[in-house]
Structure 1
Amino acid sequence: MTQPWPLPWEPDPQYRKRVAYFSMEYAIDQPLKIYSGGLGFLAGSHMRSAFDLRQNLIGIGMLWKNGYYDQVRHDDQSMRVQFQKKYYPFLVDTGICVSVTVNGHPVWVKALLLPPEVFGTAPLYLLTTDIPENDYLAQTITHRLYDTEPSTRIAQSIVLGLGGAQVVERLGGADVYHLNESHGLPLAFHLMTRLQDSQAVRRRVVFTTHTPEKAGNPEHELDFLRQMGFFGALSEAQVAEQTGMRGPRFSHTLAALRLAGRANGVSRLHGEVANRMWGDEPGICPISSVTNAQNARFWQDEVLRQALAQDDDAALVRRKRELKRQLFQVVADQTGKLFDPEVLTIVWARRFAAYKRADLLLHDLYRFARLIEQSERPVQLIWAGKPFPFDQAAIELFNRLIRLSYKTARCAVLTGYELQLSRLLKQGADVWLNTPRRLREASGTSGMTAAMNGAVNLSVSDGWVPEFARDGHNCLLIPDADPTLDAAGQDAVDYSQLMNILEHQVRPWYYDQHERWLALVKQGMRDVLPRFDSDRMADEYYRTMYEQ
């Protein structure tokens, strides 16, 4: 390492190792639209905490010209997918340009820098192929995050992994390479080619797996990956020796677990699930857990924080009401509905995926209508979230919720679920509703930032929640359904339990037992920090994963 590591600060001595953090997406700030959901939110918070703690860490990511997509509306208010070019004049051209081979053709990769002072993050190097040196097809590699074309998706991994590894070397090299999901896996093949020592590679590579879902653990034909150049300069025999896979199918997650020296799930429960999924596979590294977290400096309203610290209940209630008004301005702007800040407001907002069950509340429409429309203890409900842009079933569910919202003034469905709206929703919610099928939500960090802002988590006990929850004291838990039931049976049981909690605890406490409700709100705010602030997470990665 002959070139100085590119940090504008002297690293804290307890974070001595040079770490290069690879992620396909980062949610840094509203203007920089290079993320889709939870993986990006997590990576963004990690970069902020690395900055706050003066860690010896940089980020490597992709500069998506069209972002993920813009979620807008058709004339009938249903959801419309829009791809639009983005321009970021605050990024700095580093002058670094490297070459990778994709499907037998050279592709140039330029690195641009997001300077730390712009948004308060670790230095973030964003890779683009949309430069004049490339032909049009090569330029499109970095146009859309999670492109649906398989060859483009693999090309994106090649750019992130092989291109990013070369950029890190141009910056002076790293002691540890952290793969935030398997998207950047080709970097391990680059290291294998350079070091010619599998143990040396394992000492340098850390892998975080984020989901038990099939879509997050991709497999491809080995021949297809080899033809695309996924394995860099490694021969077929070397790939088989290092990954244990000789075809025809290649599992990206399993390969990462065999190439890395240390791996982790993103909650204690997910660590257990990951070990059940992969633990019997030969040759994998140990799988521990580092629970995800979110950056309180970015997410928590400062006035709420001060009111809690001063134990000023009146100030806390007053500020929460003001934050609800700010959220309701967005509701009014998008839907024409005038929500009341005195009314109990429930929010379900996250990435739209089938297992997250955005429509669980609609299991019995008559009972749902009684909940929403009761005159003495009314309820307002907001849905928000982005389906994958080509998941027609998820888009249809989103549109079905919009059509349902036409029938009542107390339901709203919002588009544009990005960082800014996410923060408004968490700060303006009274109840943050989380309804995944249990053991399928690896972490689910949105509830952390909701609790930081005085929203009560009403949740299935999954992901991070078991590490936080004290039912009736800092949150409200939906009891576990019998795991032997089929999906429809679990949905019916979870719905019944959810409605009982809303009808017999949430509404009476909010409207009739104000002190009890406020105690629940305040205890959630106290218990979520510092344990679920990303400063803890970033420190824990150094202590348990990087310094080993």
Structure 2
Amino acid sequence: MTNSVVLRTLPTPDSFRVPPRLEGLRRVSYNLWWSWHPEARALFRRIHPGRWIATRNPVAICSGPIDWEPLLEDPKFLTQVDEVVAAFDNYMAGGSDHWFPRTHGADLTNPIAYFCAEFGWHESLTLYSGGLGILAGDHMKAASDMALPLVGVGLLYRRGYFRQTIDADGHQEHAYPEIDLSLLPLARAAGVNGEQLVVSIPLGDRRVSAAVWVAQIGRVPVLLLDTDIPANSEADRPITHILYVRGREMRLHQEMVLGVGGIRALRALGVDPSVYHLNEGHSALNLVERTREFVAAGETLESALEHVKRHTVFTIHTPVSAGNEKFGVDLVKRVVGPLCDGTGEADAGGVPLQRMLDLAVGAEGDLGAFDMTALSLRLSVGANAVSKLHAETANATWSPVITNKILGITNGVHMPTWAGRETRAVYEQFLNADLDRLDTDGPEAAGFWERLGSVDSRAWWDAHTRQKVALGEFLRSSIRRQLGRHGEAPGALREADHFFDPNVLTIGFARRFATYKRANLLFTDIERLTRILSNSDRPVQIVFAGKAHPADRAGQEVIRDIWEKSRTDAFRGRIFVMEDYDMRTARYLVAGCDVWLNTPRRPLEASGTSGMKASANGAVNVSILDGWWDEGYTGTNGFAIGDTSINPDDAAQDAADAESLYRILENEVVPRYYDRGADGLPAAWLDLARASIGSTLWRFSTTRMLHEYCEQLYLPAATPQTGSHR
């Protein structure tokens, strides 16, 4: 087998300073292992509580002034440091007994290369916008936990995705603050002679250079390419500034850097992957670059294309063809053409551009569009959708393009990241469960699932209540900042101190504000919703959070509409809209909400993962039967809004779904939550919560997901393993 990929990096900045006795903190700080290990986060919080609250980033904490003397004189602190460093070192040194080496160690000689336009590991690295990036981040963490040899490839966005604020009228505002890279857990990749590694990418009639950084995710390194370096012109330095930049030419430039530059970075570092995994079509130009390499080495075009296809797998995320990445053919000819047809430079492989244009014709047959998904599907030996229902939709949508069936590998979530601290403590105390090792075929899982139903009800309830109290504190702090920025009167800020009662049934709705997700479905009948929320004996409160893309005016209008309604007398103090939805906010919400609401227009939700995260914390899903819930719903672990039928009349479908939702809330959710026994506990509700956890914790984990990726895609694409896998 191949071991984990180890890359040379340059020394960390001089600004990072710790006493010699604490030098082990450097290793921990520069590895995002700390992001899913609460004992490590608690240690850094103890070092500097104020800076932890401000940055939540060990590198930033240890790069500023710290009074180390009292800490060095505290035996308990030193013991805490030693335990965290030892746990980290043991994690990094181990792995041979984990699932992949134990089960398939002899089946893979070279690592998997995983390309994605965004990665979400932690809120301090704003390299993600939403579900795709969070999934990619969880994929890296799970690969590390199960010791799967893998290297990620992405872009380093110095301004990331936008920071969201909501003004006093409910309008979404966008800000792109620049990231200080010296304060992040990143290191520059080192070239063969120890120099800062830089790769060159042809962009039309010029060349652009990209620095290569490394983010270490446990055992998994991720390469991040950055064009904001002095070698580039002022016009080219911003190419990698903003995630999902609106300009189409700039977006194509980004995808050239990701696809072509990513391959060149792997080559420069001596990494020869067995398999290339394209997570969405943004990195599809790596197919062009790899084809060019084979042709330049003397292979025929057809042989080169076959070789590329044999070792490529692709994941499609968007159910409708129109939502996939496309570029105008004229733009592609200008930007990508010189890479294909050659300009007389050393990297000219002579790949006919027209052949690539033909391979990128989409399902609609539009010859004027270069469809990145179509190109990826045609040049992949295997492809998957991200839920079983999505696979049905994808196979129908892409039937003019595909020759092999698109598989259904349902998304999962990294349970150690998303299980709340209190919930995780219950798992560890009562179930002897290590969430880092969810492998069901290993000795660590023996009896775990059988014991789940026997956990003391009071322990479950108290753990969830503590997480709910924490959510309330976080929400009130967020809303006070909003109101203060809006210039609200002091009385309004004092009123906010009483917002969010942890004893009240709480519904969470947090996701991207695209119109098909129907965040405003709840407001179909205002009077009925008012009665549900304002019942003095059985009240309900709702928390909304989410961003709309800066170009999505309709999605922004949904945010404004809900914001305005939350400010009315009927809903003030019952409906809350939290701004700047990020991973930190998400962790509070999935840990603290009682109900997780999902109302997409079926079948437009490819998968969705937020409900999985909430379910792992004992929340009850109330959802349309779409995406993951279409297969996750058992009849006893939550509630299904409506059925699987689809009415072509959207207004009629909305009305029917709203009626179903109201009935579920009135007749099922509210009564079960508030019906208490002599012990003060809602027994029927806790049965639902247990069923929710039991049906999700393994089945919708990234551990299960990666088992399927390995056995259905990675290992078949890795064979035969002879010669170079370029």
After superposition, the C-alpha distances for 1:149-187 in whole angstroms (9 at most, x for unaligned) are: 000111111000000011111222211110000000000
**Is 1:250 matched with 2:394?**
no
Q: How many residues align?
A: 542
**How far apart are 1:75 and its partner, in Å?**
4.8
Match of 2:209, SS state, is: strand
* 2:244 counterpart letter in structure 1: Y
- Tell me which amino acid in the other structure corresponds to 1:256: S
8 Å CA contact retained: 2:321, 2:397? no
1:456 alignment counterpart: 620
- Deviation at 1:516? 0.7
Q: 1:212 aligns with which of 319, 339, 356?
A: 319
**Structure 1 residues 498, 431: closer, same or farther in 2, change over 3 A?**
same
Higher gyration radius (CA): 2
1:499 is aligned to 2:643: no
C-alpha deviation, 1:450, in angstroms: 0.4
1:469 and 2:633 are equivalent in the alignment: yes
CA contact (8 A) 2:624 2:640 kept: yes
Distance in 1 (CA, whole Å) between partners of 2:473 and 2:709 is: 40
Mapped contact 2:468–2:592 kept (Cα < 8 A): yes
Q: Residue 529 in 1 paired to residue 697 in 2?
A: yes
Which among 388, 391, 413 is matched to residue 294 of structure 1?
Answer: 413
Q: Deviations over 1:209-249 (max 9, x none)?
A: 00114553132222211211278323223324655689322
Distance in 2, matches of 1:343 and 1:240, equals 57
In the TM superposition, 1:337-416 aligns within 5 A as 337-407=498-568, 408-416=572-580
Q: Select 1:174's aligned residue among 273, 277, 281.
A: 273
Question: Are residue 22 (structure 1) and residue 22 (structure 2) matched?
Answer: no
1:308-329, CA deviations, whole angstroms, 9 ceiling, x for partnerless residues?
A: 6450211211111111111111
Identify the residue that residue 93 of structure 1 maps to in structure 2: 188
**Residue 235 of structure 1 pairs with residue 398 of structure 2:** no
Asked if residue 267 in structure 1 is aligned to residue 435 in structure 2, the reply is no
SS at match of 1:372: helix
Distance in 2 (alpha carbons) for counterparts of 1:276 and 1:244: 17
Q: Look up the SS of the partner of 1:123 in the other structure.
A: strand
* Superposed CA offset, 1:492-530 (max 9, x none): 100000000000000011011511111001111111021
> Where does residue 517 of structure 1 map in the other structure?
685
What letter matches 2:630 in structure 1? P
Q: Please give the alpha-carbon distance, in whole angstroms, between the structure 2 residues aligned to 1:230 and 1:463.
A: 38
Residue 396 of structure 2 corresponds to residue 276 of structure 1: yes
500 and 231 in structure 1: CA distance in 2 versus 1, 3 angstrom threshold:
farther
In the alignment, is the contact (CA less than 8 A) between 2:147 and 2:219 conserved in 1? no
Q: TM-score, normalised by structure 2?
A: 0.72
CA-CA distance at 1:73 after TM superposition: 3.4
Unaligned ranges ≥5, structure 2: 8-91, 190-195, 296-303, 341-350, 432-454, 480-495, 677-681, 717-726
- Checking the alignment, whether the CA contact within 8 Å between 1:142 and 1:156 is kept in structure 2 is yes
Kindly indicate whether the alpha-carbon contact (under 8 Å) linking 1:257 and 1:285 is maintained by their aligned counterparts in 2.
Answer: no
Work out whether residues 328 and 339 of structure 1, in 8 Å CA contact, stay in contact via their aligned partners in 2.
Answer: yes
Correspondences of 1:110-149 after superposition (within 5 Å)? 110-116=211-217, 120=218, 122-149=220-247
Letter in 2 for 1:228: V
Equivalent residue for 2:204?
103
The yes-or-no answer on 1:478 pairing with 2:641 is yes
Residue 188 of structure 1: CA displacement? 0.2
- Tell me, yes or no, if the aligned pair for 1:62 and 1:160 is still in contact at 8 Å: yes
- Distance in 2 (alpha carbons) for counterparts of 1:54 and 1:249: 40
Instruction: Give the counterpart letter for 2:555 in structure 1.
Output: A
Please give the root-mean-square deviation of Cα atoms over the aligned residues, in Å: 2.1
Asked if 2 retains the 8 angstrom alpha-carbon contact of 1:79 and 1:398, the reply is yes
Rounded to whole Å, the distance in 2 between the matches of 1:357 and 1:314 is 36
Distance in 2, matches of 1:136 and 1:162, equals: 21
The aligned residue for residue 421 of structure 1 is 585
Question: Take 1:508 and 1:293, find their aligned partners in 2: how far apart are those partners?
Answer: 31
Q: Which residue matches 1:195? A: 294
Instruction: Give the match's secondary structure for 2:236.
Output: helix
Aligned match of 2:57: none
Q: Equivalents in 1 of 2:644, 2:697: separation in Å?
A: 29
Specify which structure has the higher proportion of strand: 1
1:25–1:40 Cα contact (<8 Å) kept: yes
1:139 and 1:121 mapped to 2: Cα distance?
31
Structure 1 residues 439 and 75 mapped into 2: Cα distance closer, same or farther (>3 Å)? closer
| Aligned AA (2:177) | Q
User: What SS class does the counterpart of residue 136 from structure 1 fall into?
Assistant: coil
Alignment match, 2:597: 433
Q: 1:240 to 1:86 in 2, by over 3 A?
A: closer
Task: Compute the displacement of 1:353 (Å).
Answer: 0.4
CA distance in 2, matches of 1:252, 1:154: 11
Letter of the 1:257 counterpart: L
Q: What letter matches 2:276 in structure 1?
A: Y
1:538 matched to 2:711: no
| Structure 1 gap ranges (5+) | none
**Could you say if the C-alpha distance between residues 4 and 439 of structure 1 is closer, same or farther in structure 2, counting changes exceeding 3 Å?**
closer
Distance (Å, rounded) in 1 between the aligned partners of 2:371 and 2:423: 46
Q: Counterpart of 1:201 in structure 2: which amino acid?
A: V
Judged with a 3 Å threshold, the aligned counterparts in structure 2 of structure 1 residues 230 and 177 are, in CA distance, closer, same or farther, namely farther
- SS of the equivalent of 2:245 reads coil
Match of 1:60 among 135, 153, 171: 153
Q: Which amino acid aligns with 1:464?
A: W
Q: Secondary structure at the match of 2:618?
A: coil
Alpha-carbon separation, structure 2, partners of 1:244 and 1:526:
44
Instruction: Give me the identity figure in percent.
Output: 36
Once the two structures are TM-superposed, the CA of residue 76 in structure 1 deviates from its matched residue by: 5.0
CA distance in 1, matches of 2:418, 2:685: 22
Q: C-alpha distance in 1, partners of 2:170/2:520?
A: 19
Question: Is contact 2:359-2:374 (8 Å) kept?
Answer: no
SS at match of 1:477: strand
Change in 2 beyond 3 A, CA 1:493/1:432: same
Cα distance in 2 for partners of 1:37, 1:426 equals 15
Alignment partners' CA distance in 2, 1:237 and 1:32: 39
Match of 1:152 in 2: 250
Q: Any idea what SS the aligned residue of 2:596 has? A: strand
Pairing of 1:75-94 with structure 2 (within 5 A):
75-76=168-169, 78-89=171-182, 90-94=185-189
